Amino acid sequence: MTNLHWLSYSDAYPDGGHTVTGDVRVLRGISSHGLAARDLLVYLPPCYASNVE
């Protein structure tokens, strides 16, 4: 399995000018058969950090 490098939204897009709130993580350059590479954004709810399994 490949080690994935998740970034915070503000680190991935440092130019600002966004209205993102909350914990949004970005995985850069995901590619799939037939699709161009793109970024994957995931929102983590506030309870995520305290709900370890």
Q: Are 9 and 41 in contact (CB under 8 A)?
A: yes
Structural tokens at position 37? 């590479």
Q: Tens digit of pLDDT for each residue in 1-53?
A: 467 899 999 999 998 778 888 999 999 999 888 889 999 999 998 887 776 66
User: Is residue 12 assigned to a domain?
Assistant: yes
User: Is residue 35 assigned to a domain?
Assistant: yes
Angstrom distance (rounded) from CA 24 to CA 49: 13
Output the pLDDT for position 26: 95
Reported pTM:
0.75
DSSP 3: P
Structural tokens at position 40? 């994957």
Range of the domain at 18: 7-48
SS3 16: coil
Helix (H) or strand (E) holding 1: none
Question: What is the count of structural domains for the chain?
Answer: 1
Please, which residues bridge with residue 41 across strands?
26
User: Is residue 2 assigned to a domain?
Assistant: no
